[in-house]
Structure formats: structure tokens, C-alpha cells
Structure 1
Amino acid sequence: MELNLDGKNAVVTGGTRGIGRAVSLELARAGCNVVACYRSNVEAAAQLEKDLAETPGKHSVIQADVAVPADVDRLVDECRTRLGSLDVLVHNAGSISHIPLAKLGIEQWRNVLDSNLTAMYLLVSRSLDLFSDQASVIGVGSKVALVGVPLRGHYTAAKAGMIGLTRSLCKELGPKGIRVNLVAPGIIDTDQAAGLSPEMRERYRSMTSVGRLGEPDDIAGAVVFLASDMSRFITGETINVDGGM
């Protein structure tokens, strides 16, 4: 068994910033042809497109909001046109907000559920005829799903729902050779963590066994492992990548 992904076709949602950017680049370095999508940050998309161009393979960066069914259909059609088939689907896109329950409106609830959980359903269901034999679906969940955090009831519910969806899909799609897994990050040092105070950063560091915050490449490594044949007997699992938090 090898980690080599030469010639495999991959799509990464939320693929131009933070964890998604690291995943897109690591898959490309491992040999994949990568289609990365983004919602709105044109500068990040342009930078990733430039960086992917320096990596062997056929790569594309496409605008799509995966919370919108029509955009998911367009993204899948682009993958069909540009790649022909899919060996790896990484659903990393998602939104988060911090709102107390008393002020959590239905629109905010739906936005977070749709971009995280519903988007995974849409992406997998729309891609069924594109998946190759032994395809790998990888969702990016969160350690918070089994812990819970105040002000993030909608986000926690969405990520917990991804665990259940992963378990069901692994059983339904397994006979077709398709594996479905989740990677659940802890606190990762991305632009979202940039606003943490020094005190909060130290608190989070002290909560991990390894004494540091995670880095996007830590998550990318787990994703590439799950995309490869080295994990060919792993499905339905949630792998916590949290430094022993």
C-alpha cells in the first residue's frame, strides 16, 4: 500500500483558505488533479490557482456556494467536464457564527446547517455517477460535535449531523466501493483563530497533549491518508485531529 495518489481526481470545497487550501495543495503534491471551489474570496482563489499551477497535474479553481443546490450542480458538472470522474471528494466548506440561542434566528440556523451538513448531502448525492471504484469521501467536521460550545448550538448540531450522515453513507455506499469518513479538527491556527487573545491562545495550547495549536497541514495529512489506499479498510469513522485535546 502506498500514499501515492498519482492521476487521481479530487474536488475540495472551501478549498482556497486555511484548512481547505492546505488540503488542496497537499492532494496536488500527492499526485491528484484538483478542483477547488470557493465562495467569495477572489484574492485567495487567485493565489491558490497560482500555487497549484506550480504543481504537476490538471487543476482548477471554481466559484461555488455549496449551500446553494444550483451551485453544487454546476460544480459537479464542472468536475465532470474537467476531470471525467471523481476519486476523492473533500467537503471542507462551512460557515460558523457565535449567537446565543435567544437571538438565534431561523435564517442563521439554516445558513450554518446548509453550508455544513446539507452541503455534504448535496455534494455526495449529486456526485454518485461520477465516483470511481474505491472512491473516498472525506468530510471536515469538528471536535465540537461531541463536546458542545456555548453560542454555537447550530454549528455543533451541523457537525454532529455530519457524523451521523457519515455512518449512514458508509453503509449505503460501501457495497459500491465508496468509503466515507470524517476528519474532526480541534483548534487550528488559521485566520479564524487570528483574533484569539494571547490568553485564549495559551489556554487552548494548554488543553492539548502536544502543547500547541494545530496547523492546516496537520488536517491535510489526515485527509491525504484517508484519500489513499493506506486507509482502504477504514470507513464510517471520525478521526479526531486535535493534538490530544
Structure 2
Amino acid sequence: MGAVTSAGIGTETSAGTDTSAGRLAGKTALVTGGSRGIGRGIAERLGRDGARVAVHYGSNEVAAKETVAAIEAAGGSAFAFGAELGVPGDAETFWAEFDRHADGLDILVNNAGIGLYSHVGEVEEADYDRVFAVNAKALFFVVQKGLDRLRDGGRIINISSGVTRIAFPVTVAYSMTKGAVNVLTHTLAQELGPRGITVNAVAPGIIRTEMMDGIPEAQRSEMAGYSTFDRIGEPADVADIVSFVASEDARWITGQYIDATGGSLLGV
């Protein structure tokens, strides 16, 4: 059976240069899977930008509370709420928990997801169903049931993946889920444009999270070599892009797939 593992998780959240503190003041932002890795980096960055941040978690309440504490220690405002995704009724439960803490939303970052690392001939049906349930179906219905909470002029930012551009046979089913996210992104952008809502996808490559713990140094060097910058990305590299897309500066950008892989495999 193919291994199903958490995607985009970790604890390192090194920050990029912050020149825009306060530009999201008065906004409420929600980051799904916001307790660790890329999600935590995004949540902390939006907090530094002045947004009140809802940190969603699926199971790790401790990590979510640590993220909230980090945001508050930096002078921001945040709260955590839990809801498992990929199960029946997940979107209803998700929004019911959010509504206990906030009235309305300005920025929705769909980051939560799991990985499936198996070649096409090794993928088990149960694993296939699970990765689509979390990465595509849950995201779809979280958005659907959240549209009446999202204020006009808001932002939806979907975290996609560079594997929709680069063929990695070992991630075929996972890659398919992110392809579905890309289609949803440009379709929603067209539908929500009249409300002034922008919808974009940000697609990371290899990012340094706790998933990399235990990977031999030689393999890490190979992974770093995928990027034209010859390094592995940091959560802040993605978070800073999300910060821009969430801001008023990006008001004329919608329906776009933004490659955030550090120029991975450009010469292939």
C-alpha cells in the first residue's frame, strides 16, 4: 500500500524581510493547516501584516496554539480552531468552529493537505480516495460553504504545487489533486470577479519542513539542486508571496498560477 503522509508540515518559519507591517490591518485571515510548516509560515506572516489570523488545525492542537502564541508574541492577533478534513460533514464542522471566534472573513488561504508518494502501479484505491478527499474535495466544499462569509474585495489563495508543472511519477495521485486545485482557482476567479474577490494559486517546490528530518545530506544537496538558486526553500519564501497576493497591491491579479519553486528544473 502506498504511504500516505502529511504534506507541507514542519516547524521552521524563518522570516523574510518585512517591509509591509500593518497592510492587512482590520482584516481577518484564515489559514487551513496553519499550525506547522508552510501553513505556520503563512499564518505568522499575515499576523505581522496586521491581520487577525485564524489558525486551523486537523489534529495537532498543541502546534496550533504554539503558532498563535508566536503571532501574539510578535504583536499580532490570532486564534486556533480544529476540524478534521477529508471526512463526511467536514466543511460544516469547519465553519461552525470558525464562527465561534469570528464574524466574517477577508482572506482564505487553503493550505491544508496530505501527500501520497507512490508510483501509479502502487497506488491503492483507499489511499487515492483519501488524498483526493483532503486535498481537493474538502478544499472545494470549504470554499463553497465559506463564500457567504467572505467579504467582497476578499482573497482566496490556494496552495498548489510545482508538481503540476514538473512530472514526478512517485507523486502522480497527489499531483492530480493539485491539478484539480488549479482548475478550481481560475474558474472561481472568473465567477467571483464581480464581487472584487481575487483567486490565485501559489505553487511551492521543495520547502524545508520537519518532513525533511532524517533525509541524508547527499539527498538534500540533490534536492537543493532542483532550484536555480541551488538551495532548498524556506516557509518564509512561500509566505512572503502569499502576503503580497493577499494585499491590496495584488488587486489586479486573479486566476493565476504563481510558481514558487525557486525556478526548479527550469533547464530540463
**Shorter-chain TM-score: what band?**
over 0.9
Structure 2 residue aligned with 1:228: 247
Aligned match of 1:74 in 93, 99, 118?
93
Identity rate of aligned residues, in percent?
35
Name the residue aligned to 1:169.
188
Q: CA deviation at 1:7?
A: 1.1
CA contact (8 A) 2:58 2:83 kept: yes
Deviates more, 1:170-179 or 1:37-46: 37-46
Within-5 A mapping of 1:177-188: 177-188=196-207
Q: Distance in 1 between matches of 2:227 and 2:173?
A: 25
> In the alignment, is residue 198 of structure 1 matched against residue 198 of structure 2?
no
Do residues 111 (structure 1) and 110 (structure 2) align? no
Please state if 1:219 is matched with 2:238: yes
Q: SS at 2:54's partner residue?
A: strand
Distance in 1 (CA, whole Å) between partners of 2:189 and 2:59 is 31
CA apart distance, 1:65: 1.6
- Aligned position for 2:147: 128
Runs (4+) off by over 6 Å: none
Alpha-carbon offset, residue 114 of structure 1: 1.5
More helix by share: 1
Whether the 8 Å contact between 1:205 and 1:211 is mirrored in structure 2 is yes
User: Unaligned 5+ residue runs, structure 2?
Assistant: 1-19
Deviation at 1:237, TM superposition (A): 0.5
Supply the distance in 2 between the matched residues of 1:71 and 1:57 (Cα, whole angstroms): 28
CA offsets 1:128-159 (integer angstroms, 9 cap, x no match): 11111111000111000121212221101001
Computed over aligned residues only, the root mean square deviation of the Cα atoms, in angstroms, reads 1.8
Q: Is the 8 A contact 1:69 1:122 kept in 2?
A: no
Note closer, same or farther for the CA distance 1:77–1:109 as it changes in structure 2 (3 Å cut).
same
Matching residue of 1:86: 105
Deviations 1:69-123 (Å, cap 9, x if unpaired)?
Answer: 5232222233334221110000100000212322312210011112111122111
Aligned length: 245
Q: CA deviation at 1:47?
A: 1.4
* Distance in structure 2 (CA, Å) of the matches to 1:3 and 1:177: 21
Aligned to 1:62: 81
Q: TM-score, normalised by structure 1?
A: 0.94
For residues 39-58 of structure 1, the aligned pairs below 5 Å read 39-58=58-77
Work out whether residues 21 and 49 of structure 2, in 8 Å CA contact, stay in contact via their aligned partners in 1: no
User: Take 2:251 and 2:145, find their aligned partners in 1: how far apart are those partners?
Assistant: 23
